[in-house]
């Protein structure tokens, strides 16, 4: 599947592996790593490792250390940065927690255009909307119409959202082909959450831009997030969005996707139980049809 999908890619593309240290790496991560490193190897591209620890409540240094250990044990060495440079104690441009100014600068760009607003919608705003309309809320903005309410951004507990506007942001996925894309189908993405964390939706776009990532390889659970990411990247001044390749996910027997809570597939446990790295890599690859 992948060989045909990436046959015509130019050499020298920059792709990335971008785990969030909110738990231990599992087989799903290994499947993604096999795809990322595999495509980079056959196309002469580069792999950038990025620690996506934007969420200060959920990320833990011990998970970060464990994920670096697991990547080393499995033989996934990035082209940038050397894994050793991400060991605790040294700030790194490849770790989101250490790059506050990059997000503040991107926020200022959106602010100059009046695109950031405070939103006080809570879970109950969404459930009330559901009860009233008989379907979950979707569409542009947010259910409370906060874009026009001019709430104070300094207020505690408010989310900051970026107004993406309407229109379409379709793309040609390297595996799935032409995909239609409504950037605001899921509402305006949060830039900063109500706890004061920069969000995944925002950081991933800022980082793909500042790190020169031009090939995004990830699981298809993020398909729906792609149009908003393309639009946000344009609003931040990116002329050409990256290429996207979305691959299948490893599913549990009940069809749900694997999560870090599925301890049985935690890589560190499998390695400790004596599984060989090469066997884990090929088991993960086979599970998403790359075997």
CB 153, min distance to ligand GLU, A:
26
Which of 6, 14, 15, 19 contacts ligand GLU by CB under 6 A? 19
Is residue 146 involved in binding ligand GLU (CB under 6 A)?
Answer: no
CB 134, min distance to ligand GLU, A:
32
**Cβ nearer to ligand GLU, comparing 141 with 219:** 219
Q: CA quadruple 189, 195, 200, 206: dihedral positive or negative?
A: positive
Is residue 258 involved in binding ligand GLU (CB under 6 A)?
Answer: no
C-alpha span between 15 and 80 (Å, rounded): 10
**Cβ nearer to ligand GLU, comparing 204 with 235:** 204
**Cβ nearer to ligand GLU, comparing 97 with 117:** 97
**Cβ nearer to ligand GLU, comparing 48 with 235:** 48
- Tokens 């659970």 sit on residue: 221
Which of 204, 209, 232, 270 contacts ligand GLU by CB under 6 A? 204
25: its two tokens:
């790496």
Q: Is the distance from CB of 246 to CB of 273 less than 8 angstroms? A: no
Q: H or E element: which one contains 190?
A: strand 190-192
Which of 52, 53, 70, 188 contacts ligand GLU by CB under 6 A? 52
Say how many C-beta atoms besides its own lie within 10 A of residue 157's C-beta.
11
Q: Is the distance from CB of 6 to CB of 42 less than 8 angstroms? A: yes
Is the previous residue joined to 81 through a cis bond, with omega within 30 degrees of 0? yes
Rounded to whole angstroms, what are the CA distances from 51 to 62, 66, 86, 208, 266? 13, 12, 9, 12, 18
CB 218, min distance to ligand GLU, A:
4
Is residue 47 involved in binding ligand GLU (CB under 6 A)?
Answer: no
89: its two tokens:
């104690």
Residues 6+ apart with CB under 8 A from 4: none
**Cβ nearer to ligand GLU, comparing 151 with 222:** 222
Rg (CA), the chain: 19
Is residue 59 involved in binding ligand GLU (CB under 6 A)?
Answer: no
**Cβ nearer to ligand GLU, comparing 103 with 137:** 103
Is residue 223 involved in binding ligand GLU (CB under 6 A)?
Answer: no
Is residue 218 involved in binding ligand GLU (CB under 6 A)?
Answer: yes
CB 234, min distance to ligand GLU, A:
17
Angle between helices 61-74 and 27-43 in degrees, nearest 10: 50
**Cβ nearer to ligand GLU, comparing 117 with 171:** 171
Is residue 18 involved in binding ligand GLU (CB under 6 A)?
Answer: yes
C-alpha span between 173 and 163 (Å, rounded): 25
Q: Which residues bind ligand GLU (CB under 6 A)?
A: 18-20, 52, 204, 218, 222
């Amino acid at each position: 599947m992948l060989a045909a999908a990436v046959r015509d890619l130019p050499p020298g593309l920059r792709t990335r592996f971008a785990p969030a240290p909110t738990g231990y790496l599992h087989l799903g991560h290994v499947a993604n790593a096999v795809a990322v490193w595999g495509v980079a190897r056959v196309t002469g591209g580069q792999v950038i490792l990025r620690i996506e620890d934007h969420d200060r409540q959920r990320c833990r240094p011990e998970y970060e250390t464990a994920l670096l250990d697991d990547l080393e044990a499995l033989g996934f060495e990035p082209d940038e940065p050397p894994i050793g440079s991400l060991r605790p104690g040294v700030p790194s441009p490849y770790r989101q927690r250490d790059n506050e100014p990059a997000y503040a600068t991107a926020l200022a760009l959106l602010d100059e255009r009046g695109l950031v607003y405070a939103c006080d919608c809570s879970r109950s705003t969404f459930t009330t909307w559901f009860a009233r309309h008989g379907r979950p809320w979707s569409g542009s903005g947010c259910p409370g119409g906060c874009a026009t309410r001019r709430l104070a951004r300094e207020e505690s507990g408010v989310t900051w959202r970026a107004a993406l506007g309407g229109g379409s942001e379709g793309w040609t996925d390297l595996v799935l082909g032409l995909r239609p894309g409504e950037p605001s189908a899921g509402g305006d993405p949060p830039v900063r959450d109500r706890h004061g964390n920069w969000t995944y939706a925002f950081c991933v776009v800022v980082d793909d831009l500042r790190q020169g990532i031009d090939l995004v390889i990830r699981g298809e659970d993020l398909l729906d997030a792609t149009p908003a990411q393309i639009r946000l990247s344009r609003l931040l001044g990116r002329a050409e969005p990256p290429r996207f390749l979305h691959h299948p996910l490893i599913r549990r027997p009940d069809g749900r996707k694997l999560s870090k809570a599925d301890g049985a597939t935690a890589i560190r446990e499998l390695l400790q139980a004596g599984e060989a790295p090469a066997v884990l890599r090929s088991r993960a690859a086979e599970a998403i049809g790359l075997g």
